[in-house]
Structure 1
Amino acid sequence: MAYRYLIAIDDTDDIGTRGTGDIATDIANALLARCGGEASWVSRHQLYVHPDIPYTSHNSAMCFVYEGEAAAAAIEAIAVAVLHAESAPAADPGLAFVCLDDFAAQAKLVDFGHSAKTMVLTKAQAYALANTLGVHLSEHGGTGQGVIGALAGLGLWLDGNDGRLKGHFDVGQGVSVQAGSAKAGAGKGEHAGEGVELSVRALLAKTRVDAVIDLDDQPLPDDDRVLIQGKLKAVRRHGRSAILVSRVDGAWRNARKQQLKDY
């Protein structure tokens, strides 16, 4: 029998070490290797930046969905093994996961995620909510403060309108790294290179995202054309993956960094 799990981690890295997104990808790959199944893209969810909250650079949680025959005990064992092997010595890693097949308390978890974007929360609050909702929550080094962000990551993913997919897409515009990878090079600056113009239909086929939408949340017709320059990223909208575009001089082009900050 296949199960569908939502898994999130936070606070696994330190300056100069592998990022939390890379470690989330490692966990997904380990689950696939050991248990089979399928894993979604990893999404990044921005949390509150405040002097009282320890973080490496941006304070963001990483989240993904795993669907397969692995039981909760296997999910925990595999994820914890990766966290212990890959987390930075100075990190405060947290792990959260829940089986979505029988989870009926999404609203409370979404509320916690929203709160984590605007205020300082505590480990006690995170553990109390996780215990009430039946969500796995555990810490794996340091102060364990990462449990707050990990739990919030679940809620923000469930919201469906928060987060950017990790990495960048290469559709021929000069970026050399696919979505899900750690780094990308698009030359110097956000507008580097001439880019490439594609139909929405071709863009969907090349990236395998669910939609191409404008800043007003409207999907583009398949035959519309989009100029892709620099880093091409996808966001989460209405529970789906989407490439965000805007009108510039009468033509569609992929969203700029500032336009993506809301996600």
Structure 2
Amino acid sequence: MNNKQLKSWLICIDDTDDIGTKGTGEIAQEIAEILSGDEHESCSFITRHQLYVHPDIPYTSHNSAMCFYLETNKSLAMIEQLAIAHLLEESAPASDPGLAILACDSGFDREALIHFGLEAKGQVKTKQDAYDLAMRLGVSLSEHGGTGQGVIGALAGIGLRLYGQDGRVKGQIDLGQELYEEGVELTVEEVLTRSGLDIVVDLSGQQLKSTEVIHLTKKVKAVYCQHQFALLVYRHEGRWCNALKRQLKEY
């Protein structure tokens, strides 16, 4: 395969699960692996984007969409075929799956997508809103069961990923060793080398120097910040510590 043939895409799914079934994040991870299985192809960390929680919006537990960046030589038709087949096979019967696919080189209106994503964090949007915008911007948007309400979150997730300042990275960051309750200390440089993350930032968005030491405990989670994958840290008892649930809520 020739690297020059690779194209960049953003892919997002929403509302594929039900209580007690495989989560949307796990299904997104499987789709990412299917789509990036050939030599030279690759996909990014998956980001979880929190959307509006409201009685008029059906959701399983948190109303969040899952998005990832893909580099592949596959065509849009092939991406759609593989992703849809997996959604149909793995989505919960009671779910309302939606799929959004954006070609990153398509000259789309970035601000319009970001605006839609940000609005979906605090407003009730409709399927028609989503389909109208997707058609205008050339985004592949499709529903695959139930009411199809997941198209709203899928399109919003694309916009929030483009925003670059929203989303938690799916799962726990692997630092190559067990982190016990008492914790372990690593430099910023060691954290980045072991994890594949891009930066370490504090709660104000300030980037830490490579020599700073971080006290890591419990589940180490990352966020999407400044268009990069970041370990979020805060100052506690005179040392840097990885962000916990209360600090991560902003994302």
| Counterpart-to-counterpart distance in 1, 2:104 and 2:247 | 31
| Counterpart-to-counterpart distance in 2, 1:97 and 1:150 | 9
Structure 1 counterpart of 2:167, from 146, 163, 170: 163
- 1:207 Cα offset (Å): 0.7
RMSD: 1.3
- Cross-structure match for 1:181: none
| Counterpart-to-counterpart distance in 2, 1:210 and 1:34 | 24
Q: Size of the alignment, in residue pairs?
A: 247
Contact 1:93 1:142 in 2 (8 A): yes
Amino acid at match of 2:143: E
| Counterpart-to-counterpart distance in 1, 2:189 and 2:39 | 34
1:147 aligns with 2:135: no
- 1:102 Cα offset (Å): 2.2
Contact 2:47 2:67 in 1 (8 A): yes
Contact 1:93 1:147 in 2 (8 A): yes
Amino acid at match of 2:212: D
Which consecutive residues of structure 2, in runs of 5 or more, have no partner in the other structure?
none
More displaced, 32-41 or 80-89?
Answer: 32-41
Superposed CA deviations along residues 187-216 of structure 1, whole A, max 9, x for unmatched, are: xxxxx7111001111111111100011111
- 1:221 Cα offset (Å): 1.1
Contact 2:48 2:170 in 1 (8 A): yes
Superposed CA deviations along residues 153-205 of structure 1, whole A, max 9, x for unmatched, are: 00000000000100002436745xxxxxxxxxxxxxxxx71110011111111
Alignment of 1:167-206 (within 5 A): 167-171=171-175, 174=178, 193-206=181-194
TM-score where L is the length of structure 2: 0.95
Structure 2 counterpart of 1:45, from 18, 26, 49: 49
Superposed CA deviations along residues 116-165 of structure 1, whole A, max 9, x for unmatched, are: 00010000110001001110000000000000000000000000000010
- 1:35 Cα offset (Å): 7.9
Amino acid at match of 1:163: G
| Counterpart-to-counterpart distance in 2, 1:36 and 1:223 | 33
**SS of alignment partner, residue 82 of structure 2:** helix
Contact 1:35 1:68 in 2 (8 A): no
TM-score where L is the length of structure 1: 0.91
Alignment of 1:21-60 (within 5 A): 21-33=25-37, 37-60=41-64
Amino acid at match of 1:123: K
- Cross-structure match for 1:10: 14
**SS of alignment partner, residue 29 of structure 1:** helix
Contact 2:108 2:138 in 1 (8 A): no
| Counterpart-to-counterpart distance in 2, 1:142 and 1:127 | 17
- Cross-structure match for 1:189: none
| Counterpart-to-counterpart distance in 2, 1:129 and 1:119 | 16
Identity of aligned residues (%): 54
Structure 2 counterpart of 1:207, from 191, 195, 199: 195
Contact 1:35 1:69 in 2 (8 A): no
**SS of alignment partner, residue 102 of structure 1:** coil
| Counterpart-to-counterpart distance in 2, 1:36 and 1:77 | 20
Distance change (3 Å), C-alpha of 1:15 and 1:171: same
Structure 2 counterpart of 1:66, from 67, 70, 81: 70
- 1:33 Cα offset (Å): 2.6
| Counterpart-to-counterpart distance in 2, 1:102 and 1:132 | 12
Amino acid at match of 1:233: K
- Cross-structure match for 1:216: 204
Structure 2 counterpart of 1:245, from 205, 208, 233: 233
Contact 1:174 1:193 in 2 (8 A): no
- 1:103 Cα offset (Å): 2.8
